[in-house]
Structure 1
């Protein structure tokens, strides 16, 4: 059931959002809004890290049901991202480049695409982003005073995977160090949830801790712990605690809460991706069962409350509430955002992963 729904969600997102870059053959990019305004049609407004998640969703779909046409689309999207980024693979935001690195590495593992050049550049930038300010961790962006979970989490996941697939042997230790830094400084002892990040003084001391809680942060910290898990021990204990904390504080009847449109539109979907990986890794344990239950309940709510639009289902930013179709580029609804639609698609793909695992 979920595999079929995921195929429908994929078709809807690609029909409404996937276009060439500046009409150039052999390229694709996700239009950031639908219906699109002039800036979006021209990819003037394009959101680098949303494109990484679009590529990640296509890899999910290829694992679900391989198709040569999709493989072509993924290669064209990777080419389009680099072209729109003016020939570069990286930008000033460490979280952005970590996400693209993860998507490219998954593309390589899925299709054998050569990604050594972009991964080398991306991971070199991430390694250079580590400093001893605030005891470690990488910055959110270059020349900033902020270190946060949204940058350190995906970087840790990428380093853990890259260490096994072409990177440096020390990258796995980097993944451990990044995750341990988040654990030490950014876990709320009262709830077990991850705070957003912290501001650092020039002398390396901590000026302020930003105690905002995002579903995004829980997802990437959980993902890092799952990647580092090698049996009962500290990483599994931290992953299990995070799953319990999400269930207790960030869901309603097991449905993950939304965070509106824009960048926040991706947050819930990111959490479902790594909950699904935890459900597979931890199997029939209480933590594995809880992770799978949240994924399925969230995907079911997103699907039940979808709107019907051109191309197929349209997801809302709050999965427990009915989505509404935007009527024009001037209609300021979060449903217009590619981020919101990717998040819904991600949840449905995550449910398909859990469904396949439960059927085995």
Structure 2
């Protein structure tokens, strides 16, 4: 029998313990294969925007009248300021895709608005005209077609006539009620004037933008929170409608602050915009559970679309802090996901006024346009690699 040479017990222990495996320990030579990588599903917001645009055209466009009908049930009622947002939505689609069909429909809509409005672009409501001027100016920026700029210039000349010194200044809401001033008639006018200045560098436009903005901020903005009130003297009593806090008003005021910051580089304007944006993100009544509230059918259907459009513009401003940008993008994405997952009727791709519940019944064009805006905005943010 073979024996180890004479070694100490310690050496034998090392040999036996270190070199010879214990017989009761199992030998496991199996090597587990690497786990397959987890698939990451990336939401295609551009595809969703395409579907939303198609649903808007198929369900609401009146090709013979060249305008958007009131709803998807065929109601032919014409709403001037909804058409302005329709033009903006078509501009969204063209800017994203460069598809010529959008240009054709944009031209048709601009002509259809005039035809349906008694062969004129002028209107009794100053806020309505401001929206068409803004949409026309944007269409000009995208196409350089002179007709759009001419429309914006015509409207701007008439809008300025709405300014008067009742209630300390401001542009009236409508021509036969010159003592009632509100955010819808003033903040978009400030945006328009600032953008005209950016285009033509006419100092008179900048002076108008600053004058209108100063009145709006002094009269209809809560200096502590940045919340934007709706109007003053609606009932002839000099009172401010502080309980009317719509997403629309927050959107146009922060949009005006951003437009003036870009025109002047004065940081106070950007600070105003970010203060109001913080109010939007954190107010439990305006954004319960982080989703913009239901503001009803009709005109209210457009309110959320207006807010998200201008908040997205603020999110893309280079001077905004990284923290604020991330917060704005997260808020927009959360709202867009809620709209798609909970408030979109598929396969029709129709939207609800409540972005947390499935739609039922007839859908207004205003409501549909807000949904299209939401998806177009997220497609743009995704293209910028901000999502």
Length-normalised TM-score, structure 1:
0.88
Aligned to 1:313: 349
User: Counterpart of 2:222 in 1: which secondary structure?
Assistant: coil
- The equivalent of 1:272 in structure 2 is 308
Identify the residue that residue 294 of structure 1 maps to in structure 2.
Answer: 331
Please say if 1:31 is aligned against 2:49: no
**Aligned runs of 1:340-359 on 2, under 5 Å?**
340-359=367-386
Name 2:17's counterpart in structure 1: none
User: 3-state DSSP class of the match of 1:209?
Assistant: coil
Preserved CA contact (<8 Å) 2:173 2:180 = yes
Residues 133, 200 of structure 1: 8 Å contact kept = no
CA distance in 2, matches of 1:176, 1:351: 31
Name the SS of the counterpart of 1:89 in structure 2: coil
Secondary structure in structure 2 of the residue aligned to 1:241: helix
Conservation of the 8 A alpha-carbon contact between 1:305 and 1:316: no
Question: Which residue matches 1:208?
Answer: 239
What's the offset of the Cα at 1:254?
Answer: 2.5
Match of 1:256 in 2: 292
2:165 counterpart residue number: 132
- Residue 201 to residue 319, structure 1, CA distance change in 2 (3 Å): closer
The secondary structure found in structure 2 opposite 1:147 is strand
Partner of 1:11: 54
Residue from 135, 140, 161 that aligns with 1:108: 140
**Count of residue pairs the alignment pairs up:** 336
Deviation for aligned residue 1:152: 0.5
Q: 1:190 deviation in Å?
A: 4.8
Once the two structures are TM-superposed, the CA of residue 110 in structure 1 deviates from its matched residue by 0.8
Instruction: Summarize deviations over 1:185-227 as a string: whole Å, max 9, x none.
Output: 111245321000101899xxx7111111111000000111111
Structure 2, unaligned stretches of length 5 or more?
Answer: 1-43
RMSD of the alignment, in Å?
1.9
Contact in 2 for aligned 1:258/1:267 (Cα 8 Å): no
Residues 100-109 or 226-235, more deviating: 226-235
Q: In 2, Cα distance between the equivalents of 1:236 and 1:266?
A: 25
Q: Name 1:141's counterpart in structure 2.
A: 174
Deviation at 1:264, TM superposition (A): 0.4
Query: Bigger relative contact order, structure 1 or 2, given CA contacts below 8 A and separation 6+?
Result: 1
Does the Cα contact within 8 Å between 1:134 and 1:200 map onto a contact in 2? no
Segments of 5+ residues of structure 1 without an aligned counterpart are 23-27, 327-334
Q: Structure 1 residues 301, 90: closer, same or farther in 2, change over 3 A? A: same
- For 1:171, the equivalent position in structure 2 comes to 205
SS of 1:80 mapped into structure 2:
helix
Q: CA deviation at 1:320?
A: 1.5
Instruction: Write out per-residue CA displacement over residues 309-349 of structure 1, whole angstroms, 9 at most, x where no aligned residue.
Output: 57x3111001012222x2xxxxxxxx521000001111111
CA–CA distance in 2 between the matches of 1:53 and 1:218?
Answer: 17
Cα distance change on mapping 1:52 and 1:167 into 2, 3 Å: farther
Residue 167 of structure 1 deviates from its aligned partner by: 7.5
| TM-score normalised by length of structure 2 | 0.82
Give 1:195's match in structure 2, choosing from 222, 229, 234.
229
Aligned partners of 1:176 and 1:294: how far apart in 2? 29
Does 2:266 align with 1:239? no
1:16-74 deviation per Cα after TM superposition (whole angstroms, max 9, x unaligned): 0111244xxxxx210111112xxx2xx3x111000000110010111111111111111
Structure 1 residue 20 corresponds to structure 2 residue 63: yes
Deviations 1:117-164 (A, max 9, x none): 322220011111111222211000002021000111111111111122
CA distance in 1, matches of 2:366, 2:228: 22
Q: Does 2:152 match 1:119? A: yes
1:222 maps to 2:254: yes
Deviation sequence 1:63-94 (CA, Å, 0-9, x none): 11111111111101111111111110110100
Q: Which of 1 and 2 has greater Rg?
A: 2
